[in-house]
Structure 1
């Protein structure tokens, strides 16, 4: 059985709210790096970036984090486009994914950013679940959802039909 947790209009509102929160947190910055985990996380990062560009004058660099979510230890985690460590020096970064489950994806997605000191790294997710195995938190979140460990949260961010479903 599928339960719709969030529909298009609600997700659109959440994206705007997260964009405002990110902007307020970076109001004194000139530049911001927004990095989305490939898949729905990257689409969410694109949507938040679009909103940020509407409400602010921040120079935003959008990156995709390419990683094997099932096996993040064995395979390289790559930023696309690639940045050298100077590009990260003293910058503010927001790492975005669709769902925070155990925390492993967000934890490993931070690895490419740890080569230089940055001003700050924050995380944003659409859905924050309460099944964390790692000490990772979402600084900006759409909703927090208490579910059983066997339930699955699916996010679909097709341009004209956003939804979050619990299976």
Structure 2
């Protein structure tokens, strides 16, 4: 039996709120690049793009970030464009644990001169071991180091999050 901390309905409300926050914090910008950490971060970024299209007046682009989990900080692969000068980049992940994956995912963007880099996590755990601040937090939860949070995605739909 899974110990759900978020249902699909609650996640939908959280993502709507986060989309409004993104639009508000980036008023006047021409473009936002949502860079989702594969797999679940990309699904969240795509959903945010849909929600932002009703409130954000500029262009919204989504790209994938693949972090090589086996050889951290191994190779980081990006889909899409390669120049991020003057871009507003939001790195999107499902769960922010230690901050390590988010920190590695930022690396390719630092080779250019982005206008802003912001971070977003659907679920943010409170014990970071790396210096990464999550700018947009869907749901913050205090856990032990032994507990794990899983975000479920079925057919590109976020269906829940649970604690183990």
**The TM-score by the shorter chain falls in which range?**
over 0.9
Residue 7 of structure 2 aligns with which residue? 7
1:10-59 superposed Cα distances (whole Å, 9 cap, x missing partner): 00000111111111111110111110001111111111111111222220
Confirm or deny that 1:84 pairs with 2:82: yes
1:90-134 superposed Cα distances (whole Å, 9 cap, x missing partner): 111100000000000000000110011111100000000022110
2: CA distance, partners of 1:53 / 1:119 = 21
Residue 59 of structure 1 aligns with which residue? 59
Residue 165 of structure 1 aligns with which residue? 162
Within-5 A mapping of 1:51-130: 51-73=51-73, 75-81=74-80, 83-85=81-83, 88-130=84-126
**What secondary structure does 1:54 align onto?**
coil
Residue 47 of structure 1 aligns with which residue? 47
2: CA distance, partners of 1:29 / 1:112 = 22
2: CA distance, partners of 1:106 / 1:160 = 22
CA contact 1:44–1:157 (8 Å) conserved in 2: no
| Unaligned ranges ≥5, structure 1 | none
Q: How many residue pairs get matched?
A: 163
Distance 1:130 1:71, change over 3 A: farther
**What secondary structure does 1:114 align onto?**
helix
Alignment RMSD (CA, Å): 1.3
| Unaligned ranges ≥5, structure 2 | none
**What secondary structure does 1:45 align onto?**
helix
1:72-104 superposed Cα distances (whole Å, 9 cap, x missing partner): 22x2101112x233xx11111100000000000
Using the TM superposition, give the Cα deviation of residue 149 of structure 1 relative to its aligned residue in structure 2, in angstroms. 0.8
**Structure 2 length as normaliser, TM-score?**
0.94
CA contact 2:151–2:158 (8 Å) conserved in 1: no
